[in-house]
Amino acid sequence: MLDVRQLAVNYRQVQGIDRISFHVNPGQLVGIIGPNGAGKSTMMKAMLGLIPSASGAVHYCNCPLHQQLQKVAYIPQRSAIDWDFPITVWNVVLMSRTRHLGWFRRPGKGAKAIVKAALERVEMYSLRHRRIGELSGGQQQRVFLARALAQQAEIFLLDEPFTGVDVKTEAIMLKVFDELKNEGKILLISSHDWGQTLYQLDRLLLLNRGLIADGTPQQVMTPENLCRAYGTNLQNSLQQNSDNTMFC
Ligand SMILES: Nc1ncnc2c1ncn2[C@@H]1O[C@H](COP(=O)(O)OP(=O)(O)OP(=O)(O)O)[C@@H](O)[C@H]1O
Ligand SMILES: [Mg+2]
């Protein structure tokens, strides 16, 4: 079980997140939602120890998560990735295996088979020789999903994976997420673009610095909770994506 307790982050001028607690069992897909600046990315980075936390702890199977990062696949938000880096699709995915291989060992048949299977799963194997910068936004996101798959992780932290993707890529991603869930993985996925898929998720965490609500979409997407999270931006931020009529 993944257990996040009282996790808080303070940046120099602002509070990033405020004492967030929740736990997730294997085989759950949890959607992370909240307005811009709510702390979704901050929470993921703090869970991994990529940024210092002011308080709190994150455990997986009763051990600190930062001591078992090989079990975690993390895809940062698009803006944090250098898409001009001159590297092929194949090597982006292969690099996820270096932790298993060690830096100075050549990848064997096993590693290559894992990379091939991951690229096939997201329908990107035919473009494996392309440079990452020569792909569309949706194709790039699929390559990063393949990279996460090739890690053979137990926990997936995906920060806004739907940004800039088309309908085909979205469908491939949702299918893979569902398969991972059925394989018993833990998935935490932040997104502004769940659309109606939101209501098919097992569980949502609604953030705005603190954790505003945690539960099924029906429990979380109430006018009161959305008002607390989105305030006066609610109409602009959400109503266009939802059939719900919500008023603050
Ligand atoms: N490196 C940083 N230094 C200082 N403040 C930061 C830093 N990163 C984030 N913040 C601030 O922390 C708060 C949370 O930001 P964060 O990026 O986690 O939000 P988010 O929910 O991921 O937003 P978005 O939906 O735009 O991706 C914001 O007020 C942001 O300005
Ligand atoms: Mg973010």
Domains parsed from the chain with CATH numbers? 28-38+69-241 (3.40.50.300)
Which residues on neighbouring strands pair with residue 60, listed in sequence order? 2, 63
Top-confidence residue, 55 or 247: 55
Q: 10 Å Cβ neighbour count for 103?
A: 6
What burial class does residue 73 get, using C-beta atoms within 10 Å of its C-beta: 0-12 exposed, 13-18 middle, 19+ buried? buried
DSSP designation for 138 = H
- From the CB of 39, is ligand 1 less than 6 Å away? yes
- Single-letter amino acid code for the residue at 92: V
Instruction: For the chain, list the strands marked E by DSSP.
Output: 2-10, 15-24, 28-33, 55-60, 63-64, 72-75, 155-159, 186-190, 203-208, 210-215
In the block, tokens 């949502």 appear at: 204
111 CA → ligand 1 middle, Å: 36
Site to probe by mutation for ligand 1, drawn from 17, 41, 192 as the one with most ligand atoms within 8 Å of Cβ, is 41
Q: Which atom of ligand 1 has the smallest separation from the CA of 38?
A: 21
Give the span between the Cα atoms of 135 and 236, in whole angstroms: 31
45 CA → ligand 1 middle, Å: 11
pLDDT tens for each residue of 45-67: 999 999 999 999 999 999 999 99
Give the span between the Cα atoms of 1 and 8, in whole angstroms: 20
pLDDT tens for each residue of 134-180: 999 899 999 999 999 999 999 999 999 998 888 889 999 999 999 99
Residues 6+ apart with CB under 8 A from 46: 7, 9, 16, 17, 52, 53, 56, 58
Give the span between the Cα atoms of 161 and 173, in whole angstroms: 9
What burial class does residue 236 get, using C-beta atoms within 10 Å of its C-beta: 0-12 exposed, 13-18 middle, 19+ buried? exposed
How high is the pLDDT of residue 195? 80
What burial class does residue 8 get, using C-beta atoms within 10 Å of its C-beta: 0-12 exposed, 13-18 middle, 19+ buried? buried
How high is the pLDDT of residue 200? 83
Count the helices and strands in the chain (H runs, E runs): 9, 10
Q: What is the DSSP string of 124-135?
A: -GGGTTSBGGGS
Whether the full predicted model's pTM is greater than 0.95, yes or no, is: no
Site to probe by mutation for ligand 1, drawn from 9, 32, 40, 233 as the one with most ligand atoms within 8 Å of Cβ, is 40
Give the span between the Cα atoms of 174 and 17, in whole angstroms: 28
159 CA → ligand 2 middle, Å: 7
pLDDT tens for each residue of 71-93: 999 999 977 777 778 899 999 99
